Amino acid sequence: MDITALKNALTNTSQLPALQKSQSTLLASLINFFRENNFTYFVTGGTVLGAKYYQGFIPYDDDIDMAMPREDFERFLSMVENKNFELKNFGNNYQVQHFSMDEKFKYTIARVENLSYDVIDIMDIHNTSAHPSIDIAPIDGTPNNRLVRKIFFSKLYILRGFLTVAYSNSINPIRRQTLSHKLQTVIAKICSHFLNLNPTKIKRQIEKTLSQYDMKTSNYSGTYMGSYRDKEMLPTYIWGEGSHGHFEDVNVVLPEYSDEYVDKLYGGFRYYTDDELLKDRHYIIKEKL
């Protein structure tokens, strides 16, 4: 796609509201299920920013992130596996993915997908079709001893590195990356030729390591497998009992101390410039008949 066509695609936001609407509808049904079954959850990441500063999606944002304590996360997966999970008003037009149910799924989080739509990222060279989705991550604790916690993070960093090597061939070469990320990608692809790694075994080891520490008894807890790694392991008091916010037309639960959450994770908040907005991801979305 030439630069003119790309700019036209990026500035044409007519399909983005449809994607966002499909996700907020999914969010409402998912939260209703959580409430009916007494799950503790929080919206996280950019969804916190959206709820706090826009009462909905950040302009040009395209995803929703949630997290729940490990025990709730595992109970949720158990209900899905035992077919005790049902989203009202969705019929069979949804699915839940986790590597324990499908080894081809690359991540350690759970993903709830709205199958009513197909979505294609215009920056995906393979034109892979996906679906509007919500990611749910487990919240885990950490060792309270500072030195042991540092060793704990080092082990997880190495395991994440092995996982990157195992999936190095699926890294999108045209996705925006820093020079450091590009170098890491090159190294991962070289290593993949010499190491025969089983990604499922690595993910199991990551879960085994993370689940050793309960957030209730930990000074720091969070979602280590997120983009910011150990930076996402926040003082546990920040999660607290949760605080209420609005995301589109949905009442959601944010971390109790959401200002501290934003400061610790992002270093504060600022509004994007128009040029920055155009650099975010954009999609083609097709409603299924």
Q: Which helix (H) or strand (E) holds 80?
A: helix 70-81
Residue 205 predicted with pLDDT over 90: yes
Distance CA 253, CA 242 (A): 6
Q: 268: alpha, beta or left, given left = phi > 0 and alpha = psi -120 to 50?
A: left
Percent share of the chain, pLDDT over 90: 58
pLDDT tens digits for range 169-190: 665 554 555 565 555 555 555 5
Residues 248/56, Cβ–Cβ less than 8 Å: yes
Which class would CATH give 3-140+235-287? alpha beta
pLDDT in tens, 28-57: 999 999 999 999 999 999 999 999 999 999
pLDDT of 20 reads 87
Mean pLDDT to the nearest integer, 230-245: 96
pLDDT in tens, 59-75: 777 789 999 999 999 99
Q: Place 7 in a pLDDT band, splitting at 50, 70 and 90.
A: very low
Q: What is the DSSP letter of 272?
A: P
- Which residue from 69, 222, 200, 70 is spatially nearest to 153, judged by alpha carbons? 222
Does residue 96 sit in helix, strand or coil? Answer: strand
pLDDT value at residue 4? 41
Average pLDDT over residues 260-267: 92
The HSE-up count of residue 16 (CA atoms within 13 Å, CB side) is 18
pLDDT band for position 3 (50/70/90)?
A: very low
Query: What is the β-pairing status of strands 243-247 and 250-254?
Result: antiparallel
Which pTM was predicted? 0.84
pLDDT by residue (tens digit) across 124-151? 555 566 788 999 999 999 999 999 999 9
Domain-wise residue ranges, the chain: 3-140+235-287, 143-212
Report the pLDDT value the prediction gives residue 117, as an integer from 0 to 100.
83
Residue 184 has what pLDDT? 57
Q: Which two tokens stand for residue 129?
A: 């079709």
